[in-house]
Structure 1
Amino acid sequence: MPAKEGGYFSRLKRKLTSDVDELDADDLSEKSEVEGAQRACDCKQGQEVTVLGRLRSVELCPSDEAATLEAELFDGTQGVTLIWLGRRRIPGIEPGRTIKVRGRMAVRDGQKVLYNPYYELQTAQ
């Protein structure tokens, strides 16, 4: 009996032959869909969005006016920069953490950005 498309053996073969980063991106994308979040690659400027992904980096960006906390969120399709104005640190916002964020999508220097997004820390699974 031939294996049907997307069957057990097809998935097993893919897991054994695919790059770890590619598999992780697929898992993030699937989890995002299950949680009802939008794919970052489909989000447009000015749109109210909800995105779920993993924080790749978090850094403090000091300036003369006010410090900002910037983080890169990756949902398996595209990265989104999260910027919290006037914040130096937010408990739980750290690299490797999975979060769901909500806000109005903006574009800065060609990159998708959410300013002061609402966020929910996801439990580790």
Structure 2
Amino acid sequence: MAEKSRLRQALSKWADSSEAHQRDLRQSQARDEAVAIAEAPEREHVIVNGVLRTVTLRPRGGVPALEAELDDGSGVITVVWLGRRRISGVAPGRSVTVAGCIGKQGGVPIMFNPRYELRP
């Protein structure tokens, strides 16, 4: 009996339409806040969406770093996760939303250790 009540509680939590609706709104707001890579300002917190073109392990200063090129059609940004050898789900062809500050390195836009969300 205890298992059924826990199962019912879990199902009722997911079936709550108001909670699901709020989650959908947050996701759509995150997408709406996204800017085009070509128009993203430097040194400000931004959100960009795109598809990962390449993902490589490229150490920086003796520290492992996972580096990826994110393309949204308007431009490309290099995204770097320092101290990471791999991130599950981060692979070429994957749609991703990243959030962080953009800098320039060698004239190329770059974002270090962004928050990220894998998209279908």
Determine if the alignment matches structure 1 residue 75 to structure 2 residue 96: no
**Which residue identity lines up with residue 47 of structure 1 in the other structure?**
E
**Alpha-carbon distance in structure 2 between the residues aligned to 1:41 and 1:52:** 12
Query: Which residue is equivalent to 2:86?
Result: 89
Unaligned ranges ≥5, structure 2: 1-29
**Alpha-carbon distance in structure 2 between the residues aligned to 1:43 and 1:112:** 9
> Which structure has the larger Rg?
2
SS at match of 1:62: coil
- CA drift of 1:63 comes to 5.0
**Which residue identity lines up with residue 41 of structure 1 in the other structure?**
A
SS at match of 2:69: strand
Determine if the alignment matches structure 1 residue 35 to structure 2 residue 8: no
Unaligned ranges ≥5, structure 1: 1-33
**Alpha-carbon distance in structure 1 between the residues aligned to 2:60 and 2:107:** 22
- CA drift of 1:65 comes to 2.1
Determine if the alignment matches structure 1 residue 53 to structure 2 residue 53: no
Query: Which residue is equivalent to 1:117?
Result: 114
**Which residue identity lines up with residue 113 of structure 2 in the other structure?**
N
CA spacing shift, 1:64–1:48, aligned 2, 3 Å: closer
| Stretch of structure 1 that moved more, 95-104 or 34-43 | 34-43
**Alpha-carbon distance in structure 2 between the residues aligned to 1:112 and 1:103:** 12
> 1:11-43: CA deviations, max 9, x gaps?
xxxxxxxxxxxxxxxxxxxxxxx9211001111
SS at match of 1:41: helix
SS at match of 1:35: helix
**Alpha-carbon distance in structure 1 between the residues aligned to 2:61 and 2:37:** 32
**Which residue identity lines up with residue 35 of structure 1 in the other structure?**
R
Runs of 4+ in 1 over 6 A off after TM superposition: none
Equivalent residues, number:
90
- CA drift of 1:47 comes to 1.4
